[in-house]
Amino acid sequence: MTDTILSSATREVAIGFGRPFVMIGERINPTGRSILAEEMRAGDFSRVQADALAQVEAGAQVLDINAGIPLADEPALLAQAIELVQQLTDVPLSIDSSVVEALEAGIAVYQGKPLINSVTGEDEVLERVLPLVARHGAAVVAISNDETGISEDPDVRFAIAEKIVNRAQDHGIPRSDVVVDPLVMPIGAMGTAGQQVFRLVRRLRGELQVNTTCGASNVSFGLPNRHVVTGTFLAMAMANGLTSAIMNPLHPEVRTAVAAADVLTGQDGNCAAWIRANRAPSEPGSERVGRRGGTRRIRAAG
Amino acid sequence: MTDTILSSATREVAIGFGRPFVMIGERINPTGRSILAEEMRAGDFSRVQADALAQVEAGAQVLDINAGIPLADEPALLAQAIELVQQLTDVPLSIDSSVVEALEAGIAVYQGKPLINSVTGEDEVLERVLPLVARHGAAVVAISNDETGISEDPDVRFAIAEKIVNRAQDHGIPRSDVVVDPLVMPIGAMGTAGQQVFRLVRRLRGELQVNTTCGASNVSFGLPNRHVVTGTFLAMAMANGLTSAIMNPLHPEVRTAVAAADVLTGQDGNCAAWIRANRAPSEPGSERVGRRGGTRRIRAAG
């Protein structure tokens, strides 16, 4: 079994085979959210705060934090957002940037063992990010593309994932600390996108013995009723071994599909979380179709 | 590729790998439906008629017909129901009984190539049902249990399925006309029930090259919000190769999960059926979250 352990100052979360699926909340990301971008640039983090609490309340066990705003001081903003969110909740964080200086600034203020999001198969990126991951004993998301772009051939993507895992080992990072993202393309643009991911996830688990994650929302880009497509995709990928996803737990269709899939993979013991979350309306707390109660320990603001 | 072709007098349906999933409507079955049982016993088939039309409208490509009512003349009732439903709609039928005389009576009036539901791995059942299937050139559902009952060991269930496929070949029935039911247990009673089916479906498809079906509703027996569990289960089983199910298409959660899974396996070309079924509310027909329009050709009553 491969367990990827992440932690905050006071709490551990394990991503692993034979464990409940780990939802990594994707909302704290100004990409495509112009209001959030403007607020963060102006030093207003109230929406970051609200998004953090809402996602943990909806069942996110890890939160992704991204501060990629054009012409802003990304390292400073990312560090500020991380400090703030760590005061607000005890879930471990995923530090998300394509700028190495921003990753460094985020790691510098982080308390615990974070997930670094991400490294690709590009040699230059590998040699800048992996030493950072190794030095801080972090875990890392490995995206299966390289200098040549994103291949439509799943075997090429598998080979890139293998290259990253091997290179990580050269840097002293165990395969259990590499979480591979097989890359999810929009199904509306590429009809094979789902089958590619299902096959890749099976091989990544069976042959490379690594945990997996993905940016799930991308699969339903451009489609109507898209949250049902995203939730169904996650359940199907889980049936092939996907162990985590960077996703939006605020959409009930998505988090409920994940909760049902945990029941069906046998990871929700005695269906206890499902039964608790789906109680009849006359019982207290039943209006919330959520996730494991144990993931909802939100600390008061420091 | 293995195609199981079923037909009515005027229409063919293919169950197969690399094809859209086939929903077999389960509703025309008096088991556990005491009002329907009483009506059918009294010769009132109005509910059978309504259930047939509603299921085809909801996207069922095949209808299962069962007339198993205690102390009633099952062969006569089954034949009557089949004749009536064949006048009403042109979808192929699944003739469902554990009584061989009822299967014979149903086949005698059926126009086309039916699905016979079912044969088990019990020698006595095999030797009574398979000659009937062979004589009429029908297809058959093969349930993976035998004299010893239902094994909790998926390898035993696989071996029984293999035995039925081999025995069918001895009777001149090709493997393409044997649709194996791996047997779905309630997940609330057996936490491994989902993983067992996913693994069995993969082996049945990869090693035995047979199509598969299952009684899907059973998986969610006793759970709250059960239709979401059933729909999620079907999507997960489809991600492992399940090609049809005996199910209730009238539950929107179930048929929508199947439609989304068809999108994600790449079987809904250009997502056309999904987009048509999920149009914005201002467009006509959008209130129906249904299935492929092509499956809805309901003929007027003869």
What is the predicted ipTM?
A: 0.91
Q: Decide: A13 and A91 in contact? Cβ < 8 Å.
A: yes
CA distance B92 to chain A (A): 29
Cα(A78)–Cα(A95) distance, integer angstroms: 8
pLDDT at residue A29 in the model: 97
Asked if A195 lies within 8 A of B265 by C-beta distance, the reply is yes
Residue reference for tokens 């003349």: B73
* pLDDT value of residue A25: 98
Q: Report the pLDDT value the prediction gives residue B282, as an integer from 0 to 100.
A: 52
Within a domain: A219 = yes
The pLDDT tens digits for B28-45 are 999 999 999 999 999 999
pLDDT at B292: 44
Looking at the domain assignment, is residue B286 inside a domain? Answer: no
Q: Is the pLDDT of residue B262 over 70?
A: yes
As a whole number of angstroms, the distance between CA B98 and CA B41 comes to 18
pLDDT of residue B280: 66
Contacts of A252 in chain B (CB under 8 A): none
Higher pLDDT, A286 or A246: A246
Position A245 pLDDT exceeds 60? yes
Kindly report which listed range (A131-135, B36-40, B235-239, B290-294) carries the lowest average pLDDT score: B290-294
- E strand map for B29-165: 62-66, 93-96, 115-119, 139-143
Q: Give SS3 for B16.
A: strand
B30 touches B47 (CB < 8 A): no
One DSSP character per residue, chain A reads: --EEEEE-SS-EEEEETTS--EEEEEEE--TT-HHHHHHHHTT--HHHHHHHHHHHHTT-SEEEEE---TTS-HHHHHHHHHHHHHHH--S-EEEE-S-HHHHHHHHHH--S-PEEEEE-S-HHHHHHHHHHHHHHT-EEEEES-BTTB--S-HHHHHHHHHHHHHHHHHTT--GGGEEEE-----TTT-TTHHHHHHHHHHHHHHTS--EE--BGGGGGTT-TTHHHHHHHHHHHHHTTT--EEEE-TTSHHHHHHHHHHHHHTT-SGGGHHHHHHT--TTSTTTT-----GGG--PPPP-
Say which of B224, B270, B289 has its CB closest to residue A275. B224
Range of the domain at B16: 3-278
Comparing C-alpha atoms, which of A36, A243, A230 is closest to residue A139?
Answer: A243
In this complex, do A224 and B263 lie within 8 Å of one another by their Cβ atoms?
no
> What is the sign of the dihedral through the CA atoms of A269, A271, A276 and A277?
positive
Q: Residue A282: pLDDT band by 50, 70, 90 thresholds?
A: low
The reply to whether A183 falls in a domain is yes
pLDDT average, residue stretch A232-248: 98
Tokens of B22: 């086939």
In this predicted structure, the answer to whether residue A300 has a pLDDT above a threshold of 60 is no
- For residue A298, is it within any domain? no
Residue B209 confidence (pLDDT) above 80: yes
Give B186's pLDDT tier (boundaries 50, 70, 90). very high
Per-residue pLDDT, A52: 98
Question: Quick check: A284 pLDDT over 80?
Answer: no
pLDDT of residue A216 exceeding 80: yes
- Min Cα separation B134/chain A (Å): 36
Q: Which residues of A touch B (CB under 8 A)?
A: 187-188, 191-195, 198, 219, 223-225, 228-229, 232-233, 235-240, 256-257, 260-261, 263-266, 269-271, 274-275, 278-280, 289
Which has more confidence, B295 or A234? A234
Residue B27: count of CB within 10 angstroms of its CB: 23
Q: What is the pLDDT of residue A1?
A: 73
- Chain position carrying tokens 């921003």: A102
Element (H, E) at A246: strand A244-247
For residue B172, the model assigns a pLDDT of 98
Average pLDDT over residues A195-201: 96
Q: Is residue B212 part of a domain?
A: yes
Are the CB atoms for B230 and B8 separated by under 8 Å? no
Which DSSP state fits B97? -
pLDDT score, position A280: 66
Residue B281 is predicted with a pLDDT of 61
Please report the pLDDT score of residue B283 as a whole number.
Answer: 47
Q: For residue A297, is it within any domain? A: no
Element (H, E) at A181: strand A178-181
pLDDT of residue B4: 98
Which residue of A223, A236, A261 is in closest CB contact with B261?
A: A236
Predicted confidence at residue A281, as pLDDT, reads 61
Answer whether residue B261 shows pLDDT above 90: yes
- Work out the average pLDDT over B4-21: 97
Q: Which residues of B touch A (CB under 8 A)?
A: 187-188, 191-195, 198, 219, 223-225, 228-229, 232-233, 235-240, 256-257, 260-261, 263-266, 269-271, 274-275, 278-280, 289
Ramachandran angles phi, psi of B117, nearest 5°: -120, 95
Report the domain count for chain B.
1
Distance CA B249, CA B23 (A): 7
Distance from CA of B277 to the nearest CA of A (A): 9
Distance CA A162, CA A148 (A): 16
Average pLDDT (B95-100) is: 97
- B60-71 average pLDDT score: 96
Whether residue B99 is contained in a domain is answered as: yes
pLDDT at B294 over 60: no
Residue B299 belongs to some domain of the structure: no
Strand ranges for chain B from DSSP E: 3-7, 12-16, 22-28, 62-66, 93-96, 115-119, 139-143, 178-181, 211-212, 244-247
Beta bridge partners of A28: A65
For position A65, which CATH number holds? 3.20.20.20
Q: What pLDDT score does B140 carry?
A: 98
Cβ atoms of A224 and B275 within 8 Å: the answer is yes
User: Mind listing the pLDDT tens digit for each residue in A137-180?
Assistant: 999 999 999 999 999 899 999 999 999 999 999 999 999 999 99
| CA dist., res. B106 & res. B94, Å (int) | 10
**What DSSP letter does each residue of A45-83 carry, written as one string?**
-HHHHHHHHHHHHTT-SEEEEE---TTS-HHHHHHHHHH
Question: Is residue A250 pLDDT above 50, yes or no?
Answer: yes
Task: Identify which of A233, A239, A263 has the shortest CB distance to residue B198.
Answer: A239
pTM, two decimal places: 0.92
